Amino acid sequence: SSPHLQTYNERAKKHANKAAKALLEIMEEKQSNLSVSVDVTKSKDFFDIIEAVGPHVCLRKTHIDVLEDFDATVIDRLRELSEKHKFLIFEDRKFADIGSTVVLQYSKGIYKIADWAHITNAHAVPGPSIITGLASVGIPKDRGLILLAEMSSKGALTTGSYTEDAVRMARARRDFVIGFIAQHRMEGIGASDTDNIAGEDFLVLAPGVGLDATGDAMGQQYRTPEQVVFESGCDVIIVGRGIYGKGENVDAREVLKQAQRYQAAGWEAYKKRVQR
């Protein structure tokens, strides 16, 4: 049956990519398909949020380059927390350059993303060479790549044949591309009769999730965990401001409360989806 009708555990057992396998196992174990996204600029707020939500999330999504007080200790602490609370780290880097450049952006510079991010993501716009480049760094480290197949923002150009081509690119590199940022399931999309799509299991990570708001002032569009996980079959809900609000002077109790609320809503939608 289609992967979204199987349990995360069943899928974990079959997945060949280690990062995808680990993520699916953590989701089942922690009963959480919630990824918290933390776009804050101060490392104190950044860590206050992670400490509060740690036990409730399977994945933590970072934009490491928005931290104003970044230094190497941030990575050490992030790693410690990832082990303590058992969540993976997803750097939402959205690589978009030619293969030889993304190799450098992924492994070098001040962030050295490949050293600590279990998962990162890339635009499909440069074509397959971007995957070749990132895979040359990521595969030896057991990393996983997510392609941007659909964006959540209003007027996004990631539609129709673009989305199909992104899925075809992923299909050709299933050892490294573990899924998509998208709003729907993607198995079989754009496949021809001769493509071997049996066993295809792409994780769908969906941003643009909110229980209280329908959007923001800059084109973000929100759907509920029920719509995203149950109706559209996505696997992971990515929630930012719905959990941490403005992200300044973080109120840990409120953040915890919201994380629990999203965790419960996401898990309930998943249970409803896989019940048979």
- Active-site positions read 92, 94, 97
Is residue 33 near ligand 5IU by the rule CB under 6 A? no
CB of 268 to ligand 5IU, least distance (A): 19
Q: Which is nearer to ligand 5IU, 132 or 153 (CB)?
A: 153
Is residue 89 near ligand 5IU by the rule CB under 6 A? no
Residues 164-183 contacting ligand 5IU, CB under 6 A: 181
Q: Rg of the chain over CA atoms, in angstroms?
A: 17
Burial class (CB in 10 A: 0-12, 13-18, 19+), 160: exposed
Cα–Cα distance for residue pair 104/112, rounded to 1 Å: 9
The answer to whether residues 240 and 38 touch, using CB atoms and an 8 Å cutoff, is: yes
Q: How many residues bind ligand 5IU (CB under 6 A)?
A: 17
Give the one residue of 6, 43, 129, 220 binding ligand 5IU; rule: CB under 6 A.
220
Residue type at position 63: H
Query: Which residues of 105-261 form beta strands (DSSP E)?
Result: 119-123, 144-148, 177-181, 203-206, 236-239
Give the one residue of 133, 208, 233, 266 binding ligand 5IU; rule: CB under 6 A.
208
Q: Which is nearer to ligand 5IU, 25 or 224 (CB)?
A: 224
Cα–Cα distance for residue pair 20/15, rounded to 1 Å: 7
Is residue 247 near ligand 5IU by the rule CB under 6 A? no
Give which of 64, 53, 123, 56 is closest to 94, Cα–Cα: 123
Q: Is the dihedral of CA 74, 76, 80, 82 positive or negative?
A: positive
Is residue 241 near ligand 5IU by the rule CB under 6 A? yes
Q: Which is nearer to ligand 5IU, 28 or 150 (CB)?
A: 150
Q: Which stretch binds ligand 5IU (CB under 6 A): 72-80, 148-156, 169-177, 189-197?
A: 148-156
Residues in contact with ligand 5IU by CB under 6 A are 37, 39, 63, 92, 148, 151-153, 181, 207-208, 220, 238-242
